[in-house]
Structure 1
Amino acid sequence: MLPPSPQPPATSSTPLPPIHLRSSANKSYNVPLPRSNKPRRRFYHLIGADATPAKLSSSSSPSLSPSSNTAAESPSSDATLLSLLRQRKTEEAYELYSRFRHIPSPTCLSRLLAQLAYQRSPTALSRAQSLVRRLRDARLLHRLDANSLGLLAAAAAKSGAASYALSLIRSMLRSGYLPHVKSWSAVVSALSSNTDPDGSTDALRLFDSVLRQIATADSPLTINSRPDTAAFNAALNAASNLGDTALFAQLFDKMPAFEAKPDVLTYNILIKLYARAERKDLLVFVLERIIRSGLVPCITTFHSLVAAYIGLCDLPTAEKLVQSMREGRRDICHLLRTETSKILTTSNEEEPGSILNKLAAIAGDEPPPLLPKTYKPDTRIYTTLMKGYMMAGRADDVVSMVSAMWREPDPSSHPDIVTYTTAITALTNAGAMDRARHLLDEMSQYGVTANRVTYNVLLKGYCAQLQLDKAKALMRSMAEDAGIEPDVFSYNILIDGSILVDDSASALAFFNEMRERGIPPSQVSYTTLMKAFALSGQHILAHKVFDEMEKDKRVKVDQVAFNMLVEGYCRLGLIEEAKRIVERMKEKGFSPDVATYGSLANGIAMARKPGEALLLWNEVKDRCAAGDVDGGGGGGRGFRPDEGLLDALADVCVRAAFFKKALEIVACMEEYGIAPNKTKYKRIYVEMHSRMFTSKHASPARQARRSERKRAAEAFKFWLGLPNSYYGSEWRLEPIMEAD
């Protein structure tokens, strides 16, 4: 059986890389986790169809020392190692193991790995990783049992190394092993807790893989691997993150088949699903279903409700919910029903049999139940309501809430660091920097210690107000008075603030100071510094920063970096250099996006190269027609030109008298809902082309060559509303020569 889970330690700063266990396509074993009264079964690594554990341990293992051809074992040293492990002296045991030139026995290896995983510290997980890597390189992974590998996967997942844990569980499944439910559900939970949609997708795939393995295995072997309520909650959370209502309902309906009963956490996740589906009319029925199911709502249930109403821009209902909790009312279900009765009627008429309605188990004819007890708002609920005020631009209410929280008799309702950081953020967004700084001083008076995030919010506020001197002073106070060293985010804020005041020298100084402090620059650091040089017309320095970014192995050159470099050249009208950067970007696997094309269009306008504008428009037109996808920065969204790009191209074409192309561009603008600036184009036409085709002495041949251009010009004038040959008028700008 798995030992009880220890308290989670601090997350490791160095993530463990994925590991891939070798498996055989010819044979697999369905082996459950070992029980305490049975000998442990080994995690066999099959080399061929006729391979056996005995053959693998003797003939398939590579030599680990110059004097032997097999992984020879020392019985006395293994006995000492096993004795240390039985005494729970893990540190001494690992030190002894690290001095071994041979691979210890399977019992020693599995027990050492299990105890290292049980410690769950960054050092212990790093040691466990090295142990597994050594066995993998020696093709001796079969010496580890499923229990130790499952413990390592669970420990890695709870320590933030979800990708490593996922690779372990997948390798066990490929080899026919069914990990304990506590092991694989911990990985599913870690993946679904990630805000990245890919994490939730991987979590659901792993959950499905385990269920399929359970369905094909013998029933007695799956008893310890069958999903429990916690496992289903992790999968339901992943489905909720993706907003997949149908999948959520399928998972919810599967719970009785595995004797997993929904708990309060299950319904809290359901509240999050309704919030994502924008069905605030059904939120109250989730609370009612909890009570009718005989469960007792927790404080997190009410926090989820408050967060849901605020996320759905229903701040009044969130306020009434919090106020009713402060008054100790138990008829909150009745209150919420009254607030959403009109919305409920409309929704039921539109979707009488929807999945969400069935999940909520609407009991419209029954009176709303009373809460089993009263609940007082805690710090988290108050802070969430403050975020609603901040979103609504009510900075004064945010500050008033901080004072009201201190007057609460329950210490669990008093402000904490998150509360004050939220209030300071609201004030900086409103530009009230003096009041925000006063709140920072107030924190120390009440014994609430500010952290780096709080200072970074203030730094960003000062930079947004172009008060770079005060930002520098706050940075010094942050390090000297508070003892908080700035991080890469602090310096990125100051670099960006230097750009706002057009001080590229200060931006470079902050960048160099950051590196002198031993703080590695991030992608944002490099691209922000490149932006400083690009905006100031120093394209050579921008290119040097780009080269430094390419040499830095800790970061990866991205689409934004290429775009900054392109913009730097285009600002000076260096189109050929910019085009070479674009070609280099394509070679790196990035497709030009709207920002890339926008920089090129502005550069072409500055360089006065209308021919380049035609080539660029043809490429943009092809991307629009093909429904292309942004290769680098688009995040999988369809290519959609913006107003700046199309307006710059249309401006160049109108000035160059390419009226046919100009009409194509303005038609594209109207197709994407962009209103063309007719006033500007009319002014350009009157200033530059009002006397076109007015020469009475042109030869018939020359007039014939002008015929198509003239028709395009007349069509463009018709679109502008100027007198033209398509719509007669007594008033004419100039005499119009007929083409014939």
Structure 2
Amino acid sequence: MMNTTTFPPPPLSTLFSLNSHTFSLLRTSPPSTSSAAKFTTFIRAERTTTTSITTNPTPSQRSEDHTLLSLLRSRKTEEAWLLYSQSPHLPNPTCLSRLVSQLSYQNTPESFSRAQSIISRLHHERQLHRLDSNSLGLLAVSAVKSGHTLYAISIIKSMLRSNYLPHFKAWSAVVSRLSGSPDNGPNDAIRLYYSVTKRIRRVEDRTLVAHSWPDTAAFNAVLNACANLGDVTKFCQLFDEMPEWDVVPDALTYNVVIKLCARIDRKDLLVCVLMLMISKGVEPCITTLHSLVAAYVGFGDLETAERLVQALREGRRDLCRILRDISLAKVDGVDNEIEIKHENDDIVIKHENDGFEKLIPKSIIDNAEPPLLPRVYSPDSRIYTTLMKGYMKAGRLSDTVRMLEAMRRQEDSASHPDHVSYTTVISALVKAGSMDKARQVLYEMTRIGVPANLVTYNILLKGYCQQLQVDRAKGLIKEMTDVVGILPDVVSYNTLIDGCILVDDSAGALAYFNEMRARGIAPTKISYTTLMKAFALSGQPKLANKVFEEMLKDPRVKVDQVAWNMLVEGYCRMGLIEEGKSVVERMREHGFHPNVATYGSLANGIALARKPGEALLLWNEVKERCAPRRDDDANNSTLPPPIRPDEGLLDTLADICVRAAFFRKALEIVACMEENGISPNKTKFTRIYVEMHSRMFTSKHASKARQDRRREKKRASEAFKFWLGLPNEYYATEWSLNPPGRQDQYESDSI
């Protein structure tokens, strides 16, 4: 039976520093059906002497609480919920904590929604302090398993702010989910780890908070976050902390090390990790070998991946020798990439000073006889499929199909192709544009009893949409839903929305977006930006703005640069420059700086609106962002980051300036193009000049001031003609825009 011991409440009026908005808007994503993690209790970091705000219960209330507690003790959660929902008063803290715990432990969509409703009610009545840490921790775990990561984070952070230390299974579950999340998830995972361990270190007698200590799984989760970021320094720091918490690395820890090697392009160290594991007495698992194959495939080294798989097929245990010999042979061929120095029985590997030298002792490299694997490992379908994915990535379609046939003939059933293997072949065929053959593989899966899953159908959907066969995509999703019984997910709908955009059907895109929400599927960032794209491309920027505003209000979605740029694009495609500039100002207020895509949209909008003066202002800003940083500005975080302009942006700006006869600025822009390795289209600019400016400066009747300005323009015009190769007064001479002693008076050119 679960421990639901309560603790003295914190001195805060409420336990959570959260608002009801945070709790109420996270209910649409359906929770998973897997059970929440079991654990016994949570330990509070600091005791408080204050007492909770209580009222004197009436006899009828005490009777209801007694009945509710009896139902909860009998695990009659459904009856307990009905009693709670029909009662006008709040139960006592023990009943509330037990009810939230049991609802969270059930981990179904309905039970999770019920637990959230209790939290919302307690928040509204300022009674969140009635819940104990055990119930809150279980709710956080349930939120993670159901995909409500933001909700889980808010619970853990609020517990920490209220001086409660969550159980390690609760906070490590959140760290694990964050480590593989998009956007800033890995960084958030590392911050959460340090937030918890920092509070643990504040307690002198750590035995009081032993239930919050990180275990091996917690370290593996935060190390995985570092690996995903490619942060070697942080990875090594955390690895060195493991002995402090009496944690010993396991096979999964070293699998994460392999992942980090792959992320930071250290192929030479992959075999070292395997040798290190064996020398430390950690037995590799089949996932370790899969990680090695995946790493070599990721490097594009299919030859080594093939030799590794073949060695496993032959039952060889000298895998370390095979991989080491390959690694040394390749190192000899890349100009002595690794420098090895011996220091006090350790070896220091010099390779871009990446900090890995502490993880590899001397014996790993210097051993005359590489260690054998502790046992024979046979490649399973996952390893074969990973190699198959390498063939697909390399465009080797025939090898991909042959691998599938070879897997079918294997005697070991563990090596037979599964739905992932067949899906990989389907993906390869879709990539090659062979939709009919891909569909035949799907039928073959059905015939032999290997059920296709949602991923399989989503790949086919994407293939049909990319080939503009949206009607066939709609037919496939109907088959998937009505015949096979697989419901579409957010990826399915995002694919269909994008397909509608490709055939210029913004109404269809909106219909699928609304259908998705009607089914209770929460839109993702891609859903919003794809729908914004539909309205932007169809000339409906106001509708794109409405979608963007809804995206801003959705707490499950983090608005990124792509969304802001899509909104700018929507207005600029219609030539609405002022609206586009307003969006850019809002973007800056939200902490985003315009990038090359933003400036490109603005440049296109300026060209459409025929406002060359705006182009001059835009070019000045782009030029400033392109300029090298001074030493004192290099570490100034308030300054926008430097950019590298692309051909589209610079060509558009140069086009505008040439058409407006702003030749000085045009020369600046084309010089910037050449500095960045972009070849300006002289043929186009020559045509524009001849068509628009060949009869310039022919009038002889003008005021002196106007003649002076015209003289400056003519000088710039002659310089531009010199650059184009047209007849001009500078042929066979050295020329300069500003001869000695003459100030740059171009500013009048922009009036």
State the match for 2:457 in structure 1: 455
Q: Deviations over 1:598-653 (max 9, x none)?
A: 344334445554344334434443554598xxxxxxxx965443211210121222
Taking the aligned partners of 1:144 and 1:335, their CA distance within structure 2 comes to: 58
**CA distance 1:548–1:702, change in 2 (3 Å):** closer
* Aligned residue type for 2:379: P
State the match for 1:391 in structure 2: 393
Q: Deviations over 1:449-502 (max 9, x none)?
A: 2233322322322333344454454344444543445555445544544554xx
* Aligned residue type for 1:423: V
State the match for 1:682 in structure 2: 686
Q: Deviations over 1:313-370 (max 9, x none)?
A: 2121112111211121111111111111145563431873552132133522212111
Taking structure 1 as the reference length, what is the TM-score of the superposition? Answer: 0.80
State the match for 1:356 in structure 2: 356
Aligned counterpart for 1:198 among listed residues 157, 177, 184: 184
Taking the aligned partners of 1:159 and 1:89, their CA distance within structure 2 comes to: 23
Cα drift, residue 707 of structure 1: 2.2
State the match for 2:712 in structure 1: 708
Aligned counterpart for 2:443 among listed residues 438, 441, 444: 441
User: Are 2:654 and 1:658 aligned?
Assistant: no
CA contact (8 A) 1:306 1:385 kept: yes
Taking the aligned partners of 1:71 and 1:171, their CA distance within structure 2 comes to: 32
Aligned counterpart for 1:602 among listed residues 604, 609, 617: 604
Within 5 Å, which residues of 2 pair with 1:588-737?
A: 589=589, 593-606=595-608, 608-624=610-626, 638-690=642-694, 692=696, 704-728=708-732
**CA distance 1:148–1:452, change in 2 (3 Å):** closer
CA contact (8 A) 2:625 2:642 kept: no
Within 5 Å, which residues of 2 pair with 1:513-662?
A: 515=514, 518=518, 528=530, 531=533, 539=539, 543-544=542-543, 546-547=545-546, 575=575, 577-583=576-582, 586-587=585-586, 589=589, 593-606=595-608, 608-624=610-626, 638-662=642-666
User: Are 2:219 and 1:215 aligned?
Assistant: no
Cα drift, residue 268 of structure 1: 0.7
Taking the aligned partners of 2:287 and 2:149, their CA distance within structure 1 comes to: 25
CA contact (8 A) 1:550 1:556 kept: no
Taking the aligned partners of 1:549 and 1:130, their CA distance within structure 2 comes to: 28
Within 5 Å, which residues of 2 pair with 1:170-249?
A: 170-192=157-179, 194-196=180-182, 198-219=184-205, 220-249=207-236
Cα drift, residue 691 of structure 1: 5.5
User: Are 2:290 and 1:291 aligned?
Assistant: no
Cα drift, residue 309 of structure 1: 1.2
* Aligned residue type for 1:416: D
User: Are 2:297 and 1:310 aligned?
Assistant: yes
**CA distance 1:157–1:604, change in 2 (3 Å):** closer
Within 5 Å, which residues of 2 pair with 1:77-92?
A: 77-92=64-79
* Aligned residue type for 1:364: I
Taking the aligned partners of 2:485 and 2:511, their CA distance within structure 1 comes to: 21
User: Are 2:61 and 1:57 aligned?
Assistant: no
State the match for 2:317 in structure 1: 330
* Aligned residue type for 1:20: S
CA contact (8 A) 2:45 2:165 kept: no
CA contact (8 A) 2:568 2:602 kept: yes
Taking the aligned partners of 1:432 and 1:412, their CA distance within structure 2 comes to: 29
**CA distance 1:479–1:718, change in 2 (3 Å):** same
After superposition, the CA RMSD in angstroms is: 3.9
Cα drift, residue 371 of structure 1: 0.7
Cα drift, residue 217 of structure 1: 0.9
Taking the aligned partners of 1:42 and 1:253, their CA distance within structure 2 comes to: 27
* Aligned residue type for 1:333: C
CA contact (8 A) 1:71 1:102 kept: no
* Aligned residue type for 1:647: D
Within 5 Å, which residues of 2 pair with 1:4-19?
A: 19=16
Taking the aligned partners of 1:568 and 1:586, their CA distance within structure 2 comes to: 16
* Aligned residue type for 2:623: K
State the match for 2:36 in structure 1: none
Aligned counterpart for 1:125 among listed residues 112, 122, 127: 112
Runs of 4+ in 1 over 6 A off after TM superposition: 40-46, 70-73, 520-523, 551-559, 694-702
**CA distance 1:150–1:550, change in 2 (3 Å):** closer
Cα drift, residue 570 of structure 1: 5.3
Q: Deviations over 1:131-176 (max 9, x none)?
A: 3444444444444333333333333333333333333333333333
CA contact (8 A) 1:488 1:514 kept: no
Aligned counterpart for 1:404 among listed residues 403, 406, 420: 406
* Aligned residue type for 2:276: R
CA contact (8 A) 1:42 1:142 kept: no
Taking the aligned partners of 2:628 and 2:193, their CA distance within structure 1 comes to: 37
Taking the aligned partners of 1:238 and 1:373, their CA distance within structure 2 comes to: 31
Aligned counterpart for 1:370 among listed residues 364, 369, 372: 372
Cα drift, residue 304 of structure 1: 0.9
- Which deviates further from its counterpart, 451-460 or 686-695? 686-695
Q: Deviations over 1:248-281 (max 9, x none)?
A: 1111112122221111111111111111111010
* Aligned residue type for 2:358: K
Consecutive unaligned residues of structure 2, counting only runs of 5 or more, are 4-14, 20-38, 341-347, 630-639, 734-751
Taking the aligned partners of 1:582 and 1:548, their CA distance within structure 2 comes to: 19
**CA distance 1:335–1:513, change in 2 (3 Å):** closer
Taking the aligned partners of 1:141 and 1:317, their CA distance within structure 2 comes to: 58
SS in structure 1 opposite 2:165? coil
CA contact (8 A) 1:45 1:141 kept: no
**CA distance 1:118–1:526, change in 2 (3 Å):** closer
State the match for 2:10 in structure 1: none
State the match for 1:630 in structure 2: none
Taking the aligned partners of 1:399 and 1:376, their CA distance within structure 2 comes to: 21
Aligned counterpart for 2:93 among listed residues 90, 100, 106: 106
**CA distance 1:584–1:240, change in 2 (3 Å):** closer
Taking the aligned partners of 1:498 and 1:130, their CA distance within structure 2 comes to: 38
Cα drift, residue 237 of structure 1: 1.6
**CA distance 1:323–1:169, change in 2 (3 Å):** same
CA contact (8 A) 1:73 1:102 kept: no
SS in structure 1 opposite 2:283? coil
Q: Deviations over 1:700-733 (max 9, x none)?
A: 876544321222123223333445444428xxxx
Cα drift, residue 391 of structure 1: 1.3
**CA distance 1:561–1:247, change in 2 (3 Å):** closer
Cα drift, residue 214 of structure 1: 2.1
Taking the aligned partners of 2:86 and 2:650, their CA distance within structure 1 comes to: 68
* Aligned residue type for 2:361: A
State the match for 2:484 in structure 1: 482
Count matched residues: 671
**CA distance 1:579–1:136, change in 2 (3 Å):** closer
State the match for 1:508 in structure 2: 507
State the match for 1:737 in structure 2: none
Give the number of the structure with larger relative contact order, counting CA–CA contacts within 8 Å between residues 6 or more apart.
Answer: 2
Taking the aligned partners of 1:698 and 1:413, their CA distance within structure 2 comes to: 88
CA contact (8 A) 2:255 2:287 kept: yes
CA contact (8 A) 2:44 2:165 kept: no
Taking the aligned partners of 2:18 and 2:568, their CA distance within structure 1 comes to: 44
Q: Percent identity?
A: 59
**CA distance 1:557–1:358, change in 2 (3 Å):** closer
**CA distance 1:159–1:662, change in 2 (3 Å):** same
Q: Deviations over 1:46-79 (max 9, x none)?
A: 7xxxx721xx334xx6xxxxxx8x7988333333
SS in structure 2 opposite 1:352? strand
SS in structure 2 opposite 1:224? helix
User: Are 2:150 and 1:163 aligned?
Assistant: yes
Taking the aligned partners of 1:259 and 1:293, their CA distance within structure 2 comes to: 16
